[in-house]
Structure 1
């Protein structure tokens, strides 16, 4: 019999850190996505509270506001990984959320004199700050999660994406219609961000050893688990380990992850941004005017995130599937089933509205498997460089939502033409399919050799030995001649 491992309290500090990461994603996503509701309230006061200013912004200006966030967001993904390595996740995430929360508070004060351009500028700056967040989330998970719990705790933290989106939609709409009006959206977004910053400063810690609240048993469990998995005698802080850039950029498992995250982002951004326009133009449905229809996909995604998590825990604990099997199975479900749904949607007409809603909701819900399927693969490949990997991957994945509307604009000249939309959805389905196929073939769910802290030293040593052997062989050949 094997001795039972003492993991510390049932709810230890690793669970506290996971909950704080969940909340960080929630509060940042509230600030990120409240613009969808805010712009409507600011341009149509009668739909919410007519006692507040209304602005005459056209559709293009509104589109600039909504997309401007990503202009800044893609600029700092890599920087977030670097800052996290240099200064730690605690400080970097604090700066990220504090800056975003402070900027969102400026909207009610700057828009009256700066118009939509001021709102865009604020959103760009918010994107710059929030771009630091996700590389830190993955690096923090790598430092705090024992290998056997990474899948569970990482997935729990990432459920904040759908929870934050849901809250942004529901809470923002209710606040805009209340006595606070649309400015209240920004006041509340700022308040929840500041509240998280305080909690993070109190309870957040870069590593288990730096935590003031962790028990000795939990500290020993986390450090011994991570050390044993990485085959290193001591747990080393990842920001002290040099980055093996050449090894990373020539790693096929890394590029398979990069590709699948980009293709999943392409498919998801099509599901998220273009299907409402398709339903309005082809199916003659006013989806945006119905809060229930707009929220259903995100509610389904949040629920499915927990379903995926529970099922994966059961399968792994019973030995039915390895982590490799879980990742590739979930990634396939999250890519290929929505691909089929996209094609199915493109053949529906205005007499099949109910089926269209079911397909759309199911597609977004099933796509929630992408978190466990591929998003957490950065930690599998390299816990020591998870923040750097996430910075590179997330940069590519977030360029895609800027590109997909451009393709739609090129192909769809008449929003009521179903044939044009079919081409858009078929292209997305093909991208979904082949990106995941590449991941299935070349993706790996184990630590790569370049994760080792002494990888570069070993390479230099091996190179010097080879050079020494070559020099000896050369001198021997000269002496013989």
Structure 2
């Protein structure tokens, strides 16, 4: 293996491309992003559990208001977050690329946290209509989450560590989901009632914003904490060391929209993300209602059972991350093979579990929980597949690519709960839920099939369009001079 050496601009220290510190500021950024995703998903998922208590006609806690909303109204409320989330997907990627991931992410999480704090009051003042408006605005704010995360990872994650750092960041949603679902039942039955679910999730978001403001950074060059050794290690690994002091290369590059839309590997990821989103958000928004209505579990038992699949998701995401890194380090698998293998594990095993879920009866609650745990838990392998594959295609436009795939995926997230509301008119009828699980399985199958056949981990030629354009101009000038 050839090791490149570069000289630190500040200390003159010779640093090898493979000689970065094992633990450094890049890991701190990943941990901060982990908690940023965590608190954001606490705010995103709080309604999925809280609405069970808000609509509980058996008085989970009689000291707090309850609402006689229909199943269709509930589906609209659970879907409404994604209406705002959808609108800003493409602009959010451009904002992150233009202003940097730090400030965009900070604003998104801060405003989302404030809206979470206001949610209980919106229900009391304006019933489901005003609550729906608040959720739309909250989705609008959180639309920057993945685009900012990918933009930041594109600047902080050396290629050899993308799988580890990306998995660490994207384990945050599962951790946040586990936290809010685990404590939600206790909060709903406590003296603070179901509104405390929103207060806790919103408050955690505000606290995280202060930590991010102090320690977060758009890139190694803009961090006040990083050593010159680690900075040069990251920049050399990314091949993005600039002659200028501010290294603002990505801000000067015009987004190659036509080339992106003509890229077959990009379309494979986009379609795969759509199918993943359909399955993930069907499970995320409907598991508490499914467990309560089909298996007649009270709010506290419901919360713990609803959280269990996401505990498995979090644990398995770390396991799959370590396994993928080991296989890549030992050169057992190539990057391309690794992405496809783990995406297949993360979709086709949940596909089988979803089919099995649709085949069991209402008198098998233990088996249902096991299958839900497998379906959601093993789904975490997908983080090492199509999701991180976007950074492989183009580190410079990772945020923009993420905004585009997330836009398409969010359309599925909007539609999926509404489809549940149309099909499941009687929430206690397991036969109606059966169709929901079969649809999830169908989406998982075709989405991964396309990714395996058409996906690629090769760096795309349009990643640096300005450089290629300049090179072509120089070649033309040289040819004219020779002529």
Identify the TM-score tier after normalising by the shorter chain.
0.7 to 0.9
Aligned runs of 1:38-117 on 2, under 5 Å?
38-44=50-56, 47-117=59-129
CA–CA distance in 1 between the matches of 2:128 and 2:471? 54
Contact 1:154 1:376 in 2 (8 A): yes
User: Counterpart in 1 of 2:295?
Assistant: 285
Kindly indicate whether the alpha-carbon contact (under 8 Å) linking 1:343 and 1:425 is maintained by their aligned counterparts in 2. Answer: yes
Q: Distance in 2 between matches of 1:59 and 1:129?
A: 26
Using the size of structure 1 for normalisation, the TM-score is 0.87
For 1:400, the equivalent position in structure 2 comes to: 412
Determine the structure 1 residue equivalent to 2:460. Answer: 448
Aligned twin of 2:186 = 174
1:260 aligns with 2:248: no
Deviations 1:18-52 (A, max 9, x none): 01110110111111111123323334497544333
Give distance in 1, aligned partners of 2:341 and 2:23. Answer: 30
CA–CA separation in structure 2 for the residues paired with 1:243 and 1:403: 29
CA distance in 1, matches of 2:276, 2:373: 17
Q: Which residue of 1 aligns with 2:142?
A: 130
- 1:62-89 per-position Cα deviation (integer Å, ceiling 9, x unaligned): 3332221111111111111111111111
1:59 positional shift: 3.2
Q: Quick check: 237-246 or 351-360, which moved more?
A: 351-360
**How far off its partner does 1:101 sit?**
1.0
Q: Does 1:15 align with 2:27?
A: yes
Residue 383 of structure 2 corresponds to which residue in structure 1? 371
Q: Is the 8 A contact 1:276 1:287 kept in 2?
A: no
- Contact persistence 1:339–1:432 (CA under 8 A): yes
Counterpart of 2:154 (choices 122, 142, 147) is 142
Task: Name the CA distance, whole Å, in 2 between partners of 1:242 and 1:225.
Answer: 23
Match of 2:168 among 156, 175, 183: 156
Change (3 A) 1:276 1:103: closer
1:349 aligned partner: 361
Q: Separation in 2 of the partners of 1:87 and 1:329?
A: 35
3-state SS in 2 of match to 1:74: helix
- How far apart in 1 are the matches of 2:282 and 2:114? 31
Structure 1 pair 76/219, CA: closer, same or farther in 2 (3 Å)?
same
Note closer, same or farther for the CA distance 1:459–1:62 as it changes in structure 2 (3 Å cut). Answer: farther
Structure 1 residue 58: deviation in Å?
Answer: 3.5
Q: Which segment is superposed worse, 285-294 or 208-217?
A: 285-294
Task: State which of 448, 452, 460 in structure 2 corresponds to 1:436.
Answer: 448
SS at match of 1:454: helix
Runs of 5+ in structure 1 lacking a partner? 473-481
Contact 2:48 2:286 in 1 (8 A): no
Pairwise CA RMSD: 3.0
CA distance in 1, matches of 2:443, 2:450: 11
CA distance in 1, matches of 2:429, 2:181: 30
Q: Considering only CA atoms, is the larger Rg found in Structure 1 or Structure 2?
A: 1
Structure 1 distance, partners of 2:232, 2:309, is 42
* TM-score between the two structures when normalised by the length of structure 2: 0.87
Q: Distance in 2 between matches of 1:305 and 1:295?
A: 15
Question: Is 449-458 or 404-413 further displaced after alignment?
Answer: 404-413
Q: Secondary structure at the match of 1:384?
A: coil
Of 315, 323, 326, which aligns to 2:335?
Answer: 323
Distance 2:131 2:234 in 1: 44
* Structure 1 residue aligned with 2:221: 209
Cα deviation, residue 194, structure 1: 1.2
User: Shift in Å at residue 298 of structure 1?
Assistant: 1.0
Among 47, 55, 58, the residue aligned to 1:35: 47
Is the contact made by 2:113 and 2:203 (CA closer than 8 Å) also made in structure 1? yes
Aligned residues: 464
1:93-127: CA deviation from partner (whole Å, max 9, x where unpaired): 11101111111222233332222211111111000
**How many angstroms apart in 2 are the aligned matches of 1:61 and 1:270?**
16
User: Aligned in 2, Cα 1:280/1:48: closer, same or farther, shift over 3 Å?
Assistant: closer
Higher deviation after alignment, 7-16 or 437-446: 7-16
Deviation at 1:418, TM superposition (A): 6.6
Distance of 1:264 and 1:275 partners within structure 2: 16
1:397 CA displacement: 0.7
Name the counterpart of 1:479.
none
Displacement, 1:364?
A: 1.2
With over 3 angstroms needed to count, the CA separation of the structure-2 counterparts of 1:438 and 1:311, relative to structure 1, is same
Post-superposition CA distance 1:220-264 (Å, at most 9, x none): 11111111xx79888654232110000000100100110111112
Q: 1:370 to 1:125 in 2, by over 3 A?
A: same
Q: CA deviation at 1:156?
A: 0.5
Shift in alpha-carbon separation, 1:170–1:397, aligned structure 2, 3 A: same
